[in-house]
Amino acid sequence: MSPLWIFSFHKSLYYYLSIHVLPIFKYVYYFLSERRPVQDVEEQPLPSYTSSSKDMSHNDPALPDPPNNGRLLIIGIFAKVYLVDEKTIRKLPRGQSQEDLEPIVRESLIYNILGVHPRIAECISLGRDHYVDLKYYRFGDLASYCEKTEVTPCLLSKWFQQILEAIAVIHSFGVIHSDLALRQFFVDDELNLRLGDFNASQCPGHPALSFEKASHCLPRDYDLPNTVASDIFALGSTLYELVAGKPPYGELNVLESDNPESIKEHIRRQYGIDLVIEERYRRNEFPDVAGLQYGHIILGCWKGEICTAKQALDLFRQSRVIV
């Protein structure tokens, strides 16, 4: 049996568990503990067997203890997220295995590469690599915010531009996010967007640890490194989420209720629906963007006509001038 086939299967299994099963576990955890998530810090770690050993080096090999009086927000597959206080959240590995440690080390590495920027979530543990401290954004992630709040056309245009700006920033540093979606952007106190959740991201010398869910995923050889092109495709789906108010092809598998049977049926259907979505994308069949604001930019990202975030940003600015 080919080692490449084993890796491909392992990668696909982790993708399916992290995208479709983990959110259900999170829901059950919150329900049983009578806690609601403050924000979605979704964990999608996947071991990368080609990563350099340098990526796993630690200044301090001992894992830090959970913060005193910190409230546990999320138990991911390989990470725990705590609300340290009203200003800080902390992401910790669940254990000492490579699978547990690598996503935290990777996210720390990415924040150190990107540094401080108004379009990037504020990391307040720069220089550390065995945990990640981030500023707590009380409005949560953008997907959740849009579900609860009516978004004005002016705010939508502002966020459309800021999403493009964030991707242009990370690509200028050679970082491929590898899991772009509306939920990866946080809303700060001034209602500006900040991109976060870099635990699966790719940077020079360090291949991505995962890839996007089907609605945001460019069909490709998943054993090869992620690329700017795969990020731009996911950018199109992310912008579609913002403008259309739903993910691409989200109507194919709507969770009808939160009772256990409905959740199980939702999980059973999802894998088949993912294959349907992937096949549509391979045939260049995309959701209709006619009538959607900035639909030409979304379609350009999907079709590969837009090759960079900067190009998309230039088109956006030209559209604003014409309007």
CA pseudo-torsion sign 203, 204, 209, 211: positive
More confident residue, 72 or 7: 72
Position 16 confidence tier, pLDDT thresholds 50, 70, 90: very low
pLDDT score of 126: 85
Cα–Cα distances in Å, from 214 out to 6, 55, 230, 232?
Answer: 21, 28, 12, 14
102-131 burial, b at 16+ Cβ within 10 Å, e below that, comes to: bbbbbbbbbbebbeeeebbbbbebeebbbb
pLDDT in tens, 82-115: 898 889 999 998 777 888 889 999 999 999 999 9
All residues at 6 or more sequence positions from 60 whose CB lies less than 8 Å from its CB, including other chains: 130
pLDDT in tens, 198-226: 999 999 999 999 999 999 999 999 999 99
pLDDT score of 67: 65
Place of tokens 């190009």: 311
CA angle 117, 119, 122 (to 5 degrees): 60
Ranking 8-22, 193-207, 220-234, 240-254 by mean pLDDT, the lowest is: 8-22
pLDDT score of 64: 62
The domain locations on the chain are: 3-322
Give the mean model confidence (pLDDT) for residues 263-279.
Answer: 90
Query: What pTM does this model have?
Result: 0.80
Can you list the alpha helix ranges (DSSP code H) found in the chain?
3-16, 22-33, 98-114, 142-148, 153-172, 228-244, 260-282, 295-303, 309-322
Give the mean model confidence (pLDDT) for residues 247-262.
Answer: 84
CATH entry 3.40.50.2300 includes domain 3-322: no
Give the mean model confidence (pLDDT) for residues 54-61.
Answer: 41
Give the mean model confidence (pLDDT) for residues 107-125.
Answer: 96
